[in-house]
């Protein structure tokens, strides 16, 4: 049985596998391919969105598979992106990626916390699977532009995964922040969340975190979440009790 960070990352990989199985029917070329134990996802219609177009957790043992991984992207005109997790960040891995013409770039963090039941400080309600306001708040919260139609389709896929629950935070009776909770076999994932720009820094994300941690407490295992390293979300989650499980760097 896998333990530690590997078990937590498996929850993320499983959700990606489910999401991209659905996405493959939404957009040409979209999908997930396994290279040994390592997953690679692509969504050619959104080439600038690295989270949708990356190798998810390159390992030293993947060296002989690297050319095929890179071709998985280049065959459709995508720039390869290879995520290296801190547990696998060795001099050998760095040399192999550098020799392939890639360089380290942006980093994200995988954070974990013990789920606990608490009452959100602001109104939060669980949203139905067909609640259109939920997707609308996400789109507005993320401030998407020209890719709005495509992102709406992908958001609809990501936030309809079997086992997912969707939550809305309210201000004066109107939904102003949205976030989801996916329950995997060994952990619960606090998935994508966003607040309307005009209402940020007023506690709505903290309220959504509290509601989702309460939901996660109904299952076994820790709660996990990803965030851009040193971002406002990273700082907020740390303040709310999340601790670092793993750092992830994308090579491009």
Q: Which of 185, 167, 184, 188 is nearest to 176 (CA)?
A: 167
CA angle 240, 184, 225 (to 5 degrees): 25
Q: Which residues pair with 223 in a beta bridge?
A: 113, 188
Give the pLDDT confidence score for residue 143 in this predicted structure. Answer: 84
Q: What is the per-residue pLDDT across 187-215, written as a single tens digit (0 to 9) for each?
A: 999 998 999 999 999 999 999 999 999 99
pLDDT, position 157: 94
pLDDT digits (tens, 9 = 90+) for 2-24: 658 999 999 999 999 999 999 99
Percent of the chain with pLDDT over 70: 98
Q: What are phi and psi of 228, to 5 degrees?
A: -65, 135
Q: Which pLDDT belongs to residue 41?
A: 98
Domain residue spans of the chain:
4-108, 115-221
- 181 near 215, Cβ under 8 Å? yes
pLDDT at 149: 86
Mean pLDDT of the chain: 95
Tell me the average pLDDT across 56-80.
97
**pTM of the full predicted structure?**
0.94
Q: In this prediction, what percent of the chain has a pLDDT beyond 90?
A: 90
* Average pLDDT estimate for 81-85: 98
| Paired tokens of 12 | 């993320």
DSSP state of 187: -
Q: What is the pLDDT of residue 119?
A: 92
Rounded to whole angstroms, the Cα distance separating 155 from 112 reads 23
- pLDDT value of position 6: 93
For 85-108, what is the mean pLDDT? 97
**Residue 144 CB neighbour total at 10 angstroms:** 17
Which DSSP letter does residue 109 get?
E
Confidence at residue 3, expressed as pLDDT on a 0 to 100 scale: 58
Residue labelled with tokens 């996400």: 138
CATH of span 115-221:
3.40.630.30
**What is the structure's pLDDT at 129?**
87
With cut-offs at 50, 70 and 90, classify the pLDDT of residue 184: very high
* pLDDT at 220 (0 to 100): 87
Phi/psi at 38 (5° precision): -110, 130
In this predicted structure, the answer to whether residue 246 has a pLDDT above a threshold of 80 is: yes
Helices (H), the chain: 4-23, 66-74, 91-99, 132-142, 148-158, 204-216, 232-239
Task: Please determine, for residue 62, whether its predicted confidence score (pLDDT) is greater than 90.
Answer: yes
pLDDT digits (tens, 9 = 90+) for 128-172: 988 999 999 999 999 877 788 888 889 999 999 999 999 999 999
Q: What pLDDT is attached to residue 52?
A: 96
In terms of pLDDT, which residue wins out, 145 or 93? 93
Which residues fall within 8 angstroms of residue 143, CB to CB, at 6 or more apart? 197
């Amino acid at each position: 049985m896998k333990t530690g960070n590997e078990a937590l990352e498996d929850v993320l990989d499983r959700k990606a596998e489910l999401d991209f199985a659905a996405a493959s029917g939404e957009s040409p070329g979209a999908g997930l391919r396994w290279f040994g134990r390592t997953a690679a996802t692509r969504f050619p219609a959104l080439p600038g969105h690295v989270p949708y177009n990356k190798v998810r957790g390159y390992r030293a043992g993947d060296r002989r598979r690297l050319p095929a991984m890179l071709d998985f992207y280049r065959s459709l005109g995508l720039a390869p992106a290879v995520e290296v997790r801190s547990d696998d960040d060795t001099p050998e891995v760095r040399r192999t990626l550098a020799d392939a013409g890639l360089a380290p770039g942006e980093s994200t963090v995988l954070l974990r916390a013990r789920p606990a039941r608490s009452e959100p400080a602001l109104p939060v309600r669980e949203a139905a699977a067909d609640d259109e306001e939920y997707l609308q708040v996400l789109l507005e919260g993320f401030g998407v532009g020209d890719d709005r139609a495509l992102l709406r389709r992908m958001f609809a896929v990501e936030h309809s995964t079997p086992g997912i629950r969707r939550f809305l935070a309210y201000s004066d009776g109107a939904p102003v922040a949205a976030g989801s909770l996916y329950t995997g076999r060994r952990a619960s994932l606090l998935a994508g969340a966003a607040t309307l720009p005009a209402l940020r820094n007023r506690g709505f994300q903290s309220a959504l975190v509290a509601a989702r941690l309460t939901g996660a407490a109904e299952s076994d295992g820790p709660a996990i979440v990803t965030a851009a390293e040193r971002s406002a979300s990273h700082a907020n989650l740390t303040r709310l009790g999340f601790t670092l499980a793993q750092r992830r760097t994308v090579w491009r």
